[in-house]
Amino acid sequence: MRLRHVLHAFVMTGLVAGTALAQTPAAITVTSPTLKANEVIPKDHTADGKNVSPALTWSGAPAATKQFAMIMDDPDAQFGGGNFVHWVVYKIPAAAKGLPAELPMDATLTAPADIAGTIQGLSGFRRAGYRGPAPPPGKPHHYTFTVYALDTELTLAEGATKADLVKAMEGHIIGQGSLVAIYERVKQ
């Protein structure tokens, strides 16, 4: 009887510890050659410029990563009860170390080879692909690029939204990191 209690306590302690670890994703470092933390986003990456996606790189993902996902949103622009979404990317292969600049607007990416099969979901503009900052004049907005390392391969098809992606990632995030940059339009 006593052995059973000891084993039960050991198993429960392991389960609780395992749960705690699963709920605390490893820290991923997210960087960019053109975006700097808490600095202004270059005009080329905004609606006031070329509106092209920035390159992103990441490191520190757990070895168990099976796929990555990335969400870019603006917490200073509330829309439909949440942050306005500028970019949703999922099914990024585990071997990928980032996303190159100026990705095409295609939903499913076929090149470069290291990200083939990656899908760009729907932004708040209801279109696939990157849509850069275009805040109303007045105050700076903070744009958060969050990368997620997942312990599973997602089955989401083309056309998924941030909400769809967040739901699909529940319980599967084993690493996470963000890069925040700002952009402001000046009142004329």
pLDDT at residue 138, as a whole number: 87
Which is more confidently placed, 173 or 186?
A: 173
Q: CA angle, corner 89, sides to 85 and 93, nearest 5?
A: 160
Q: Classify burial at 26, counting beta carbons within 10 Å of its beta carbon; exposed 0-12, middle 13-18, buried 19 or more.
A: middle
CB atoms within 10 A of CB 184: 16
Percent of the chain with pLDDT over 70: 87
Which is more confidently placed, 111 or 163?
A: 163
**How far apart (Å, rounded) are the C-alpha atoms in residues 39 and 35?**
7
Helix (H) or strand (E) holding 18: helix 2-23
CB atoms within 10 A of CB 84: 23
Report if pTM > 0.75.
yes
Name the E strands within 17-172. Answer: 26-27, 29-31, 56-59, 67-79, 82-93, 98-99, 119-120, 141-150
Please give the distance of CA 139 from its chain centroid, rounded to a whole number. 24
pLDDT at residue 177, as a whole number: 98
**How far apart (Å, rounded) are the C-alpha atoms in residues 46 and 53?**
9
pLDDT at residue 23, as a whole number: 63
Mean pLDDT of 34-43: 97
What residue ranges define each of the domains in the chain, with the CATH number in brackets?
A: 26-183 (3.90.280.10)
pLDDT at residue 73, as a whole number: 96
pLDDT at residue 83, as a whole number: 92
pLDDT at residue 188, as a whole number: 65
pLDDT at residue 186, as a whole number: 80
pLDDT tens-digit readout, 76-121: 998 777 899 999 999 999 999 999 999 998 899 988 999 999 999 9
